[in-house]
Chains A and B, each alone.
Chain A
Amino acid sequence: MIVDFSYKNPKTESDLLELLSSAKGKAKLLSGGTDLLVGMRSGVYRPELLIDVKKVPGYERLVYEQGKGLTIGCAVTINDIVSSKVVHQQYPLLCACAKDLASYQVRNRATVVGNIVNASPCSDMAPALLCLDATVCIASLRGKREVPIGEFFTGVKKTVLEKDELVTSIFVPQSSASAKGVYRKLKRIQGHDLGIVGVAVVLIDDAIRIAVSSAAPTPVVTKKLDRSLSMEKMLTEVESIISPISDIRCSQEYRRFMVLEYAKRLLQEVSAC
């Protein structure tokens, strides 16, 4: 059974930030709840207060502005991304990653921001957001700040977020729009499952970036690599950013092998177009 807690669903951002700040780390933010409520049941999280973010107007906004970019509010679900025509046209890699996240019912509730804030090494949305140079927009009573997604994760389930801070949205710039990108996730079964490894490759203006999940304490991404680099050099770059471990799903060696194999296949796919 879930531990006792109180529940609040503030109607404005300032009320929400006030609650979060006065809880002094004893509150958890509830969006889709697909990680949080499962974690609370198993006793991993024991918050005294749950603050539901879904009632704040504007947080459900998924907006693309021509020439600027895409803003994903913190209540935007994974299926909102999958079914959005404009995301499909402008940021196909986001859709590709979103489709592979868990099952249909979970995607109806799970949010993009939640997937990032949860900071799991096997996050499905992180590889796309890393490849597309997204920015994480953070608010607290002390003010607002923006952090590049590459600097957001600090360890397994750890981020740069302070206890009084909320991720209000994620911004994906126009410069990443229409980029050719592919994502592949290795898993035991074709249906929903956590990934053994996930690899995303994107090509933006002759520069290639390769992001990997489930092969390091955080999702990781290479620096921008020139398209003309040899396959061997690209794979050396990939190998330098990962540090896989052995666990219940597979061995370290197999993880390393499959990351490089998937990276090779995806690089071939991307440069073939």
Chain B
Amino acid sequence: MLIKVTVNGIVYEREIKENRTLLRFLREDLGLTGTKEGCGAGECGACTVYFNGKTVNSFMVLAAEADGGVVETIEGEANEGLLSALQAAFEAHGAVQCGFCTAGMIMSARELIHTNPHPSKEEIQEGLEGNFCRCTGYEQIIEAILDVTGQYQEKEELIYV
């Protein structure tokens, strides 16, 4: 079937098979490989994208359902090569280790900040409950979000002897 989807502001028309997931459509048909496939079961959140203004696991959406819809992915986060404030905070705090979860983390963090501009640490943990980081670098991710929402307090520098 033919679908027409707006992804990061660009309208794409593609012929797809009905069993194509939105994730595969983004990665394989459009070449937007920033969005990752992790568990394929709705547990890990690596495939999180915005679909019609809400974060979803793109593995659990059919491309057919996205016909006429609007999708935003990690590729749309930076503006003409300039990192968004959220991305810059992730970079500054070392919130990226292997990087596999990062695209999904950024999507969920953006949604969290949108609905709650000054989230507490607990609220950040709750907002990101659907995104797993198997490097377990959660602390830096939380710090980055506290920072970008103007709530980060510099820790005293550790002195190694």
Contact = CB atoms under 8 A, between A and B. Distances in A.
Interface of A: 1-7, 9, 30, 32-34, 37-38, 41-42, 50, 52, 54, 79, 102-106, 108-109, 190-192
Nearest to B39: A38
B98 to A, nearest CB: 20
A102 B64 contact: no
Nearest to A6: B18
B40 interface: yes
A54 B48 CA distance: 21
Contacts, number: 84
Contacts of B61: 33, 109
A191 B56 CA distance: 17
Contacts of B111: 104
B19 A34 contact: no
Interface string B42-76: 11010010000011110111101100000000000
B40 to A, nearest CB: 6
B140 interface: no
Q: How large is the interface on B (under 10, 10 to 19, 20 to 34, 35 or more residues)?
A: 20 to 34
A223 to B, nearest CB: 36
A54 B108 contact: no
A34 B60 contact: yes
Given A7-B64, A54-B65, A106-B57, A192 B19 contact: no
B91 interface: no
A105 B57 contact: yes
Given A33-B60, A38-B41, A105 B19 contact: no
Given A7-B62, A34-B60, A105-B108, A191 B1 contact: no
Q: 3 tightest CB-CB pairs across the interface, nearest first?
A: A103-B130, A191-B129, A7-B18
Contacts of B62: 7, 30, 33, 37, 50
27 contacts: A1-B19, A3-B19, A4-B18, A7-B18, A7-B64, A9-B64, A33-B60, A34-B60, A37-B60, A38-B41, A38-B42, A41-B41, A103-B129, A103-B130, A103-B131, A104-B111, A104-B130, A105-B42, A105-B55, A105-B56, A105-B108, A105-B130, A106-B42, A109-B60, A190-B129, A192-B43, A192-B129
